[in-house]
Structure 1
């Protein structure tokens, strides 16, 4: 019998695309391929009897073309504070083996380059998000100011990490990752953030 699970919290993503990433709209990345960091802070959650609250997860990915076409290469980073049972649960969920929306995202993975426990910090501030993975990788993003000082929002986009949520449009101050052949060191590129809520199976 499949394990029941649920979680909610905040997520962010930042990639090497210039302007709004066309992958959200099933288009081609502006740079040919799309390299990105996607991070989740789980405010509360459970996998069966395993508590997943206050843990973080990051995926570093390289998509050779439009993300909806799949064949991603990914590295999955799991919060090093997690116990063995928590890491097993997070690996199953974010690896796409436990159902729910992560299973759909997981179906686009062509190759898993690594699954590693790492120190992960996910800082939430007004109009800003900061993700750090270990000592040298991470993303710092800030919301773009729209009309009347309001946030710029995308909704009902076809390719969504957090379906049903309004996506806040942001820009990176820094985006860095140099491991497993997924390399990026850019700024002033695409970024987004929003709440998320997943359940499975």
Structure 2
């Protein structure tokens, strides 16, 4: 029998595409390939009775061409503050193994490069979102200013890690990632953020 679980909180992502990233509307990446870092902060969550409140998760994904070619290379990073039971639960949920919304993305994965327990700093500061993993990642995005100071959003797009929520469009202040043989250091590229809620 599958475990009952649910998690909810906030997420953001940044990639090397021009903003807004065409991949979310099933278009090709603007630079021919796509390297994206996704971060989540769990405000409230539990998996089979194990609390997941306050923990962070990150996922790096690389597609050498169109995102729908189903050959992503991915690496998953789990909050080192979590107990072994919490990290196991996070691994199942955010890899898609436990089902739920993220399971829809798993057929696109061609290779899992690794799963690591690391320090993950996830921050929200007004319209900015940032994530830092020492020696691995340092990402910050800021929402684009819309009409009358409101957010610029995309709703109901077909390729999203946060279905059911409008994505706020932003641009990266910085994007640095180095792990598994990858090195990217760019800025002024795509970013999205929104709440998320998953269950299984």
Q: TM-score, structure 1 length as denominator?
A: 0.96
Matches within 5 A, 1:92-103: 92-103=92-103
**Which shows bigger deviation, 5-14 or 18-27?**
18-27
**Which shows bigger deviation, 8-17 or 101-110?**
101-110
Matches within 5 A, 1:22-41: 22-41=22-41
Deviation string 1:63-107 (CA, Å, 9 cap, x unpaired) is: 122223321101100000010001111111111210001111222
Distance 1:182 1:106, change over 3 A: farther
Aligned Cα root-mean-square deviation (Å): 1.0
Tell me the SS of whatever aligns to 2:105. Answer: helix
Contact in 2 for aligned 1:62/1:182 (Cα 8 Å):
no
Between the aligned partners of 2:71 and 2:41, the Cα distance in structure 1 is: 25
Aligned to 1:124: 124
Aligned to 1:182: 182
Alpha-carbon offset, residue 143 of structure 1: 0.6
Between the aligned partners of 2:48 and 2:149, the Cα distance in structure 1 is: 43
Deviation string 1:20-72 (CA, Å, 9 cap, x unpaired) is: 11110001000111001000000010001111110000001101222233211
Give yes or no for the alignment of 1:114 onto 2:114. Answer: yes
Alpha-carbon offset, residue 136 of structure 1: 4.8
Tell me the SS of whatever aligns to 2:188. Answer: coil
Between the aligned partners of 2:130 and 2:173, the Cα distance in structure 1 is: 10
Aligned to 2:191: 191
Runs of 4+ in 1 over 2 A off after TM superposition: none
Alpha-carbon offset, residue 147 of structure 1: 1.1
Q: TM-score, structure 2 length as denominator?
A: 0.97
Q: Aligned pairs, how many?
A: 200
Contact in 2 for aligned 1:35/1:182 (Cα 8 Å):
no
Between the aligned partners of 1:135 and 1:63, the Cα distance in structure 2 is: 22
Deviation string 1:165-193 (CA, Å, 9 cap, x unpaired) is: 01000000100111102321100000000
